[in-house]
Structure 1
Amino acid sequence: MLAQNLIIYKFPVLYHILEELCLDLNFNILYADNENILNDKLKNLDNYLVITKEEKPNINRQFVLKQTPASVYKLVEKINIEFLKVQFNNQSEVKVKNYIIDLNSREMLLKNTKLRLTEKEINTIIFLSKSNKPVSIDDLQEKVWSYQSDIETHTVETHIYRLRKKILNTFEDNEFIISKKNGYQIK
């Protein structure tokens, strides 16, 4: 699991309190007292949460602490819950080419356009995107559909055809899944 990083933005009192407790916490504590320092820290971190006194525009994964809880332990509990939310959201989104695949809502997203997908379509896209070379129809039948390769079926070809058509109609992308002589590929 990636290290969790709590960035405390313009809240020095909170930083000093949590810094004293750092050995008992399951996240790293960082401090930023201006926007440039904050942006520099965010560039280098994947798993982070920014805690502020008031909501700041253009900051993702932000936890606004408007009222300080009665105890530090409740605050740490709230921070841990926010980290769990961030982790859940990170695990639910997969980036494939320029698209985001949202596993929870079963949608493929590009800018403001959404395409609803079936679970099998999502599994196909993810399986293809993880391969560096074309994936054979037999491999797709076995790994995505759990069919034996000696069974004569056109399930894979039919699903790929329909999926490509959906993507073409929604995103006007004719190159998302490419047909090669030895299988299908997402580059």
Structure 2
Amino acid sequence: MDDRQENLQKVTKKLVVFTTVILVLIFGYLILLSLLCPWDSCAGHEKPIVLPFVFTSGLVGGFVSIQQRLPQIAADELRVLSRSWVSITLIPINGGIFSVVLMLIFISGILQGQLFPQYEPRPLNSLTDVYDWIKHGIPKTSTDLAKLFFWSFVAGFSERFVPQVIRTAAGKAQGNTAKDD
């Protein structure tokens, strides 16, 4: 086996191990929640399940993205990747973080349209309301939830997507500020 193939296998193994550990932790958390308080008997204590799934969708998107790019990576860079857990795990972790940021962008209404999930506005008058918002931060319909998961995957898969949305929104905000002056 040549050096390139060996490095490809090392990187792939590390990615699979990392992603598996994260998925086990997230789903273990959800299982633990359901054991501590079954879904139908938690009077007033609904579980915040959307956020872990959004993060997971972004994480998996980042995993798929790096897996697809591995064959095109130069031998020197592949060698570095094969020796570093941080370099390998950074892309999927960024994907998970970007997916959560994208969810906030959707909730805020900064990015709207037929292709994006819709949310009901919720009044926030106290810290308890914020906690309730986190617990109930679910899109309007099941179709909107599917859109959220799809775009969460895209946020992880296309690492430039969310930063571009942020830059575009910031540019529009700066343009509006200039018009107000």
TM-score w.r.t. the length of structure 2 is: 0.30
Structure showing greater radius of gyration is 1
Q: Which structure has the highest helix share of the two?
A: 2
RCO greater where, 1 or 2, for CA within 8 Å and sep 6 or more? 2
Q: Which structure has the highest strand share of the two?
A: 1
